[in-house]
Structure 1
Amino acid sequence: MSVIDPQALTTSLQRLAGRGTADELLPTLRAVVDACVDLFGVSGAGIMLADEQNMTRYVAASDGPGRILEIVESETGQGPCTQAFVTNQIVPSSDVTTDSRWPRLATLIRPHGVRAVLGVPIALGGAPVGTLDVYLTEPHEWTSGEHAALSRYGDVVEAALAASLSAHRAGELAEQLQYALDYRVVIERGIGYLMARDHLDEVSAFNQLRRAARNSQRKVGDVAEHLLATGDLPGGQGNR
């Protein structure tokens, strides 16, 4: 990863933030990931946003391997981007193909040339609604300076999303984000309940909740409310 020029970063942030209008949300997000690659010297970048099942989904990527990374993370519920979304913290991996935290991701992404990955949470009103992710084709130990710079870059995504929700003109994407925001507290409470009841870590509890939502064909917020009211997941999914 190239050395970050503070002035170039500031200029790029200002230029991209100025494009953050509801009328051109997806083009803005695509511009963000393309500019991210140029500015930081990474191999690729992408953005994932939460849907109504509170699952992060591919929205924009700079290239094919970046898109595959996002799809595999969404399908497996594993990886630095998934963990960044659940914990609302930056999550690095020096090499996802050998990272023991996410064995399924490691196996599936290995043929596609993605090695070092950094997941940066994207939040609205303090609640995570997605991630900005970057990757390199070689192993790399991410520095605190890279964490800080990419976190600032995530502010551009937040500004674009906030403008879209404020204007109510981003269609289905805005509706999904609004649902994620409206139900974030109850979903977090449901995750906490499963962590305490089943002795799970945060990501495992999150995946159990969304798996129950998928199996019962209900929205994850409704499933979390059911869990908190009854102590059980719908249909006996994951119950003790």
Structure 2
Amino acid sequence: MSDEHRCEEEAVGDAVSQVSETLTATEQALAQALTPLVDVESELAALKRRTASVKAPAARTSAASGHGRQAEKLAAACVELADTLTDDFEVTAFLHRVTERCVEVLDIAAAGVLLTDHQGELGLSSASSEQARLLGVLQLQCNQGPGIDCFTRGRRIDHIDAGPVDSSPDQFWPQFQQAAREAGFHSVYALPMRHGRQMIGTLNLFRNMPEPLDDHSAMLGQALADVPAIAIAQQRFAREQELLSQQLREALDRRVLIEQAKGIIAGQRGISLDEAFAELRSLARADHIPLSALALRVISAPEHAVLRRRAPENRG
């Protein structure tokens, strides 16, 4: 074997080793990135088990207690909603179903959801009635209302309309109050939709009578708010990881091309891999083309891969 061929084989071997190391590092990065998604799946499975287990004890007390009937409805609603999360679901339709189940379980007039977008900005998502939808739009347009305050403060906000003299200093939303009153809603309860420390949105519950939300109903309402919070977090995380995986694969593909081209140039020119990379990079910059595109040219036509040398500088 000639020295030239031996040098070329060694250079290609070094390039293959670097590609192998890059592949290993990428696999490790992907495994680490997907770990939180497994945690979200486990959380959904645990929620489904908990809600299913509520049904049995609730049945024993349903005849004597309205709370028992509510618990039965909650269990059925949560199991139904959790079942839909196993497939790729459409967010708006899913949240509309959530608001409908809130009306059934909590014996309220209407429900609506304000949801953040991917930039963290609050927007309208779904509602069980047109009146609730319009009140959601009003809150966003006027930047006032229980849903806005709930999202900002990260805690439950109740609005009980006691009449024209109701003007609580920290919950005075004149436009929202008037619109809610005209729609026939005299009680509004905004519950946080949170996954971990991240606020995803708010669940707004509407009643026709001015009355406080009892602790039991508040607990059930928060459970119904937690279901979509987990679901949305799962979907968004899955999309983010899919995008990250795609970006990593594309970066890896580009790196593989560059490493192969380096090996070809190093073998043909009898230079080191670092020198071959410097030549590739210099020519790519001079021709204003991506480094991976130049590498693909080298791989596609290795017999013409010897890069042109720069003309020596005229020092005279």
Same fold (TM over 0.5): yes
Confirm whether residue 17 of structure 1 aligns to residue 88 of structure 2: no
Shift of 1:52: 6.1
What do residues 136-167 of structure 1 show as CA deviations (whole Å, max 9, x unaligned)? Answer: 12211111222211111111111220221133
TM-score normalised by L of structure 1:
0.63
Find the counterpart in structure 2 of residue 162 from structure 1: 233
Distance 1:52 1:97, change over 3 A: farther
Shift of 1:42: 0.6
* Counterpart amino acid of residue 129 in structure 2: D
* Greater per-residue helix proportion: 2
3-state SS in 1 of match to 2:78: helix
The Cα RMSD (Å) is 2.3
Find the counterpart in structure 2 of residue 27 from structure 1: 93
8 Å CA contact retained: 1:22, 1:163: no
Counterpart mapping for 1:132-211 below 5 A = 132-168=203-239
8 Å CA contact retained: 1:96, 1:114: no
Confirm whether residue 103 of structure 1 aligns to residue 203 of structure 2: no
Runs of 4+ in 1 over 6 A off after TM superposition: none
Distance 1:115 1:55, change over 3 A: farther
TM-score normalised by L of structure 2:
0.49
Distance 1:161 1:52, change over 3 A: closer
Unaligned runs of 5+ in 1: 170-240
Unaligned runs of 5+ in 2: 1-64, 241-316
Inter-partner Cα distance in structure 1 for 2:162 and 2:129: 18
8 Å CA contact retained: 1:22, 1:160: no
Q: What percentage of residue pairs aligned between the two structures are identical?
A: 24
Distance 1:97 1:129, change over 3 A: farther
Inter-partner Cα distance in structure 2 for 1:53 and 1:114: 31
8 Å CA contact retained: 1:119, 1:131: yes
8 Å CA contact retained: 1:3, 1:40: no
3-state SS in 1 of match to 2:108: coil
Pairing partner for 2:150 from 81, 84, 90: 84
Number of positions where the alignment pairs a residue of Structure 1 with one of Structure 2: 168
Find the counterpart in structure 1 of residue 126 from structure 2: 60
* Counterpart amino acid of residue 13 in structure 1: C
